[in-house]
């Protein structure tokens, strides 16, 4: 069975600092995808970044990067130069199976990030 573990229920960071949100996963499948979503207080889930299990390079999207360590089964999200608007819940999620498959995502419990001015 799939499992996503986010060990940091809450994090507090000073504005403009970089922050790393931890995510480890467990799967026996060779083909899978890893996602990070942001959920502000408004409730909407916002897609941030995606990493495929066969991607050799770490994914990057603007200030977001994914530190993918396949052997350690970790997919940490790195936010550079944090901003006040980054305060939100962050969820790591995994899709198991072929890339063309449905996104029946398994989510971690989330990390609540608070950026202090």
Partner 1 sequence: GAGVSQSPSNKVTEKGKDVELRCDPISGHTALYWYRQSLGQGLEFLIYFQGNSAPDKSGLPSDRFSAERTGGSVSTLTIQRTQQEDSAVYLCASSFRTGESPLHFGNGTRLTVT
State the alpha helices, DSSP H only, in 1-117: none
How far is it, in rounded angstroms, from Cα 36 to Cα 111? 11
Judge whether 20 and 67 are in contact, CB under 8 Å: yes
Q: Does 5 bind partner 1 (CB under 8 A)?
A: no
3-state class (DSSP) for residue 85: helix
Binding residue for partner 1 (CB under 8 A) from 24, 52, 67, 74?
A: 52
Of 13-21, 30-38, 62-70, 80-88, the segment contacting partner 1 by CB under 8 A is 30-38
99 forms part of the interface with partner 1 (CB under 8 A): yes
Residues at the interface with partner 1 (CB under 8 A): 33, 35, 37, 42-47, 50, 52, 91, 93, 98-110
């Amino acid at each position: 069975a799939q499992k996503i573990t986010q060990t940091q229920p809450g994090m507090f960071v000073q504005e403009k600092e970089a922050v790393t949100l931890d995510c480890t996963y467990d799967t026996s499948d060779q083909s899978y995808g890893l996602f990070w979503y942001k959920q502000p207080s408004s409730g909407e889930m916002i897609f941030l970044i995606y990493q495929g299990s066969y991607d050799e390079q770490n994914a990057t999207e603007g200030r977001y990067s994914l530190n993918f360590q396949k052997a350690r089964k970790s997919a940490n999200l790195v936010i550079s130069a944090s901003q006040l608007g980054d305060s939100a819940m962050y969820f790591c999620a995994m899709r198991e199976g072929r890339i063309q498959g449905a996104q029946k995502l398994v989510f971690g419990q989330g990390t609540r990030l608070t950026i202090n001015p």
